[in-house]
Amino acid sequence: MLSPSSEFPRFCWACVSRTVVSTTAGLQKSAYRSRRLLQSRAITTSPERGRRPTRLRKYNSSSTIPKSQPALAFSQSTSLAQSTHDQSTHNPKGPPPQGIRDQLKLWQEQNGTPNAEECLENLIPALGDANAAAQLGMEEEAADERDGYMAINYDPDEVEDIYGSGLSLASKVQPGDLCMLPNKIRSPANDLVAAIYVSPGDTGHGKFLNSKGAIIDCYLGSILLRYPAFVSQDEVMKVKSCMTIMNQSSVDAPNTHYLDVQKKDTSHVSLTVCAPMLEALSAFRQRYLDIYREHHRRLDFAYELLAHPTEDKIWSLDKAIKYLLEEHADNSFEQLSAVHLALERAGSGIDYSYSTFNMTQQYYVKAQANLTEIETVISWIRNYKTWRASQASGNKSQLAPPGVSIIERFVTKAKGLVSHSRSVRSPSNITFGAVPILGGLGPSKLRQTANKPLPVERGVVKATFDSNERLIIRALRSYAVERSTYAKQDIAALLPTLMHEVGRYDGHNIGVATVFLFLQEIGVLTTYEDHHNFTPSLMLPGYGYSNLIDSASASASHPEMHEKDLVDTMADLRKDWEQLPVYCIDDASASEIDDGISVEVIEGGATAQWWLHVHVANPTAFIPRNHILARLAGHLIQTVYSGSHSVPLLPKWVTQGWFSLQSNRPVLTFSGRIDSSGTILESKVQPGIIRNVILTTRHAVDETLGGHPSIFPNKWTVGGALPEIKVTRPLQTKFSPSQVKDLQALWNVAEALDKATQNQSKQFQRSTFVNCDLYSINVSSSTGQPLPNSSTQPDRAIFSQGDPVIEMRSRPWSTQYAPIGDGDKGHVAKAIVETSMVAACTIGARWARDRNVPLYFRGTHPYADQEKFQRFVKNVWEPSLDENGIPPLHVSVKSTDFIGRTYISTTPVFHVGLNADAYTHVTSPLRRYADMIAHWQIESALRAEARAGKSLAQMPAAVTGLAYSQETLESGLVRVAARIKQISMLNGGYGKFWKRELVRRALHFNECPEFPRIVTCMVMTNLITVQKIQVSVREFELHASMMDPRCDISRTVYPNVDQVRPQAGDIWECEIARVEQYSGLITLTPIRLIEKWKPAREGFNGDEFFSDS
């Protein structure tokens, strides 16, 4: 392994060169051998062979990083945890260190301990610093669970996110483009999967011609690299004209989180037709392999060159090219491909996200120490298995090789811990199907014996782990929890063998889920852990992935260190709203209040007009853009809501102590003059101070205005009774006559805005917001205290006696097309809040657009295939509408595919879903960094207007003095979009996880006897994957998989099941068969067909639209 502190010694490259041959197989072998060689040697290039020496590197601490080093808080080219490489060398004193730990200790002694805030100043730079685009960016590792249809529930001021988000290659790809597709398994034997895009496939998919002349179907979101116009349109048209369309069958995706990334297609094109395209593919392959061969001496050692001794890093592809190819780098597509191939073959040390690589082109590089630990554990296990085999063959005299005694002690200790765990908790042993499955740990037997709730706090210590055992645990966590090594063949083969040695998992399919359960049973993970929370490339504070980030987060949590820095920069421009009532409508348990609403009636009668004011918390007026608080927010991008692991964008002392709305707090107010038709006639943005704040709840507003509060007829609870909600702020539930008049005016504004949205709709008559809450999920400990976390550095086996209390309230499914009003007010408070937030975001975007102020605007790409859209309207949409003009759920969900995908742009774009000509996010600066950017930008424009004495809209010259230039925003756009997508999915999975946990505990452990085992489901797709169909459970809006009623398992469980092909829209009665904690898979067995969906169009079966994955 490379020493992080010593100069690279020179050595003869002949021994390496001998292993390199010109064939592809030779390249594959040389990559593996060279990496092994470099574990004990360092890298240089012999000048005698005509190449200049490799640059030597030294890793900076806070004492060596230049103070003037510029960077970008969330730039595509900035990494929070990346250290700068320089030309310095180190001459060690005394004997050389032995082993990686001694080397790291020596390096730390020589370079000093980093200062958290000083490192943060350089490593989490502020947006707008010079040369920011030259820095390296953070990536997201998405747990992209493509449910096949959108969730009905969403956040009020993230209403547009139901259409998807992000700007990726999928939105740019055109026929004739050359695309790189992902490999199913990463290994040194991999080659690139290059294919030419031919035509669109099912929604979200495309058809590609690969190098073998076969047509393959691939999810467009999985495209890694793209070279536009690789072949002419004439050649593409020849291939399209003779393509044979045949049925497709799915194969495993490269990541089990991604459904149908590539689907096998047996269609082949005549070789005489596609020969020019195949020749182009072959020539391209030869070119990038030639580049690889030319630079193999560095590409074979990509990990060793890019990895840091102690910190995980993020490298962008273009930065890696410049570093690995040095002066030869030109960022040609062939070089991109050659370097990507090298990083694909680099082994366990380098990983990337399948879901967002096409947006970020960034790699997650493990620290050398972390990879060394994993390789050490693998060598121990390999030695242990070899030694056991020799002992079994009668060779008793052989001495145990290194690591054998360590594995023996760990296995012995693990057996005792698993036995103890089984005495207090039983795993759910699911026998449904061919292979028994351990579906997760059950509730505490102690709690059931005591017949009362027990605290969840983890306080029962049963064992301690020494340093070597902690290495084994960390390796197991990287495999099953962080999932950063599970696709690597040697690790996937050896780590699970420990489960066989423990002996408590015999007869079960041992994989990542079993290893995850094992970590729970030895007291390392909590019994309610969701592995999606552990995403190394997110580098969330408190998870132990970056010492710098953890130190910076700890520093930011101390108000005494930073309160002196919070000075109001907009104080001289603030408007005093005096006694104007500001209504903050939120849940009783809400601790951060981002926004409040006011209304002023201008005229009455048929010409009624209102001034709607949305007052938003204003932390950016106090927090400088380069402050430690801003830099940490720039790293996070959004608050992460994951139960016990929630990570706020800003520390609690900042949000609750300074900016959460209450009387005499600063705000940035977005005002619009709105007429009775819902048209926004005039817009204003101004900083202010609110005095008369009324904190209330949705339930109170609904009761006051005669609306229907969220009534959930179904209620289920496991783990006991939820403790009473602790209300930390005074809530007003009764209103004076003048306040009732204000609330009625707000309701009138909401109706007008909703009417405008419907009248302007060009595609579907969709309401601005979903007029339903399908479910409510509450999770708590029996004492009301936060649920404890799993330790990031486990040194003890800790067990808890109690279990989380989970309560779910639900009502049957509905669609997002139910309009408000029409005699049924429905959820009045929800409508008021949602329409007001959408209006504020539209007002903010238009205000900036009119002044040529760049922001992160949000809009939608138009649907590409308009002919298909018209067929959908004619054959599906119009015939399915009921007497009220409302479509069924599966049609309503499918319609969102035709509205377009949301993306982020620095220039205004039309948002089809909201019918807005400009839209951005401005209403949640306490939990979204993009909103903070918008506020900083708007505040700088307001100050410019104050200096000029007139509106910037009246000044034709380019705006100067803004917080960010458009180029600066562009440089950070990719990372912002990718990280928003990542964290939005993580937050969205929070409710789903706890719903599944409730169903699992109710079903497999009978914690809720009244919970229904027999449910009603609607089929959402015609696609049948591995004998399963996606359905939505009516009783509690849960996504699940129903077995094909024609398969053997279904006929065995229910011999009289209707053996018909399920199609989208069909209603089935099913039994919940199993719930798996790790995968989140819920499997249903069909019982009978209740209702067959009958489209009005004769001969229409829906396959064109509902066969999407």
pLDDT digits (tens, 9 = 90+) for 350-376: 888 777 788 778 888 888 988 888 889
Lowest mean pLDDT among 322-331, 502-511, 1007-1016: 502-511
Spatial strand order in the sheet of 775-780: 714-718, 805-810, 775-780
Question: 1034 and 928, same structural domain?
Answer: no
Average pLDDT of span 438-450: 75
DSSP 8-state code for residue 911: B
Burial 238-270 (b: 16+ CB within 10 A, else e): bbbeebeeeebebeebbbebbbbbbbebebbbe
| Chain segment 120-147, per-residue pLDDT in tens | 444 444 554 433 322 222 222 222 322 2
Containing H/E element for 47?
Answer: none
Residue 594, in any domain of the structure:
yes
Average pLDDT of span 865-872: 78
Q: Which domain holds residue 1060?
A: 1012-1106
Q: What is the pLDDT of residue 1078?
A: 87
SS3 per-residue string spanning 735-756: CCHHHHHHHHHHHHHHHHHHHH
Question: 173 and 126, same structural domain?
Answer: no
Q: What is the pLDDT of residue 76?
A: 35
**252 pLDDT more than 50:** no
Residue 288, in any domain of the structure:
yes
Question: 122 and 151, same structural domain?
Answer: no
Q: How far apart are the first and last CA of the chain?
A: 44
Lowest mean pLDDT among 129-133, 446-450, 556-560, 919-923: 129-133
Question: 198 and 181, same structural domain?
Answer: yes
Nearest to 565 by CA among 617, 618, 620, 623: 623
Nearest to 537 by CA among 764, 367, 298, 707: 367
- Band (pLDDT 50/70/90 cuts) for residue 944 is very high
Residue 406, in any domain of the structure:
yes
Question: 726 and 664, same structural domain?
Answer: yes
Question: 68 and 217, same structural domain?
Answer: no
Among candidate residues 336, 365, 394, the one where a domain is terminated: 365
| Chain segment 593-641, per-residue pLDDT in tens | 999 999 999 876 667 899 999 999 999 999 999 999 999 999 999 998 8
Distances (CA, A) of 243 to 528, 846, 867: 50, 47, 20
Residue 1075, in any domain of the structure:
yes
Q: How many CB atoms lie within 10 A of CB 402?
A: 11
Both structure tokens of 221: 């979101």
Both structure tokens of 738: 């003048």
Q: How many CB atoms lie within 10 A of CB 394?
A: 7
**89 pLDDT more than 90:** no
| Chain segment 736-792, per-residue pLDDT in tens | 999 999 999 999 999 899 888 765 544 444 433 333 445 566 776 666 677 777 777
Question: What's the sign of the alpha-carbon dihedral 18, 19, 20, 23?
Answer: positive
DSSP 8-state code for residue 556: H
Both structure tokens of 955: 């000044």
Question: 388 and 354, same structural domain?
Answer: no
Both structure tokens of 64: 């060596």
61 neighbors 113 (Cβ within 8 angstroms): yes
* Residue 690: strand pairing partners: 665
Question: 247 and 106, same structural domain?
Answer: no
Q: What is the Cα–Cα distance from 184 to 195, expressed in whole angstroms?
A: 15
Q: What is the pLDDT of residue 247?
A: 38
Share of the chain above pLDDT 90, in %: 29
Number of H helices, E strands in the chain: 32, 31
| Chain segment 552-585, per-residue pLDDT in tens | 888 899 998 898 999 999 999 999 999 999 999 9
Residue 20, in any domain of the structure:
no
CA neighbours within 13 Å on the CB side: how many for 659?
A: 28
Both structure tokens of 717: 């609870």
Residue 470, in any domain of the structure:
yes
DSSP 8-state code for residue 786: P
Among candidate residues 365, 400, 430, the one where a domain is terminated: 365
- Band (pLDDT 50/70/90 cuts) for residue 96 is low
Question: 1075 and 970, same structural domain?
Answer: no
Q: What is the Cα–Cα distance from 910 to 1072, expressed in whole angstroms?
A: 43
Bridge-based pairing of strands 248-250 and 262-265 is antiparallel
Distances (CA, A) of 381 to 77, 462, 495, 498, 510: 39, 25, 8, 8, 16
Question: 317 and 228, same structural domain?
Answer: yes
Q: What is the pLDDT of residue 6?
A: 31
Average pLDDT of span 427-452: 72
Q: What is the Cα–Cα distance from 73 to 632, expressed in whole angstroms?
A: 8
Question: 1038 and 917, same structural domain?
Answer: no
Average pLDDT of span 217-239: 88
DSSP 153-187: ---GGGGGGGG-----GGGT--TT-EEEE--SS--
Both structure tokens of 1050: 């279904």
- Band (pLDDT 50/70/90 cuts) for residue 991 is confident
Q: What is the pLDDT of residue 118?
A: 45
**86 pLDDT more than 60:** no
Q: What is the CATH number of the domain that holds 1027?
A: 2.40.50.700
For the chain, give the longest Cα–Cα distance: 101
Residue 40, in any domain of the structure:
no
Question: 1069 and 937, same structural domain?
Answer: no
Q: Is 1036 helix (H, G, I), strand (E, B) or coil?
A: coil
Between 929-948 and 828-850, two packed helices, what is the crossing angle to 10 degrees? 50
Residue 403, in any domain of the structure:
yes
Among candidate residues 305, 330, 365, the one where a domain is terminated: 365
Q: What is the Cα–Cα distance from 806 to 370, expressed in whole angstroms?
A: 37
Average pLDDT of span 376-401: 85
Average pLDDT of span 337-358: 85
Higher local confidence (pLDDT), 543 or 249: 543
Nearest to 202 by CA among 1022, 981, 985: 1022
Mean pLDDT of the chain: 76
- Band (pLDDT 50/70/90 cuts) for residue 899 is confident
Q: What is the pLDDT of residue 91?
A: 37
Average pLDDT of span 75-80: 34
What is the total count of domains within the chain?
5
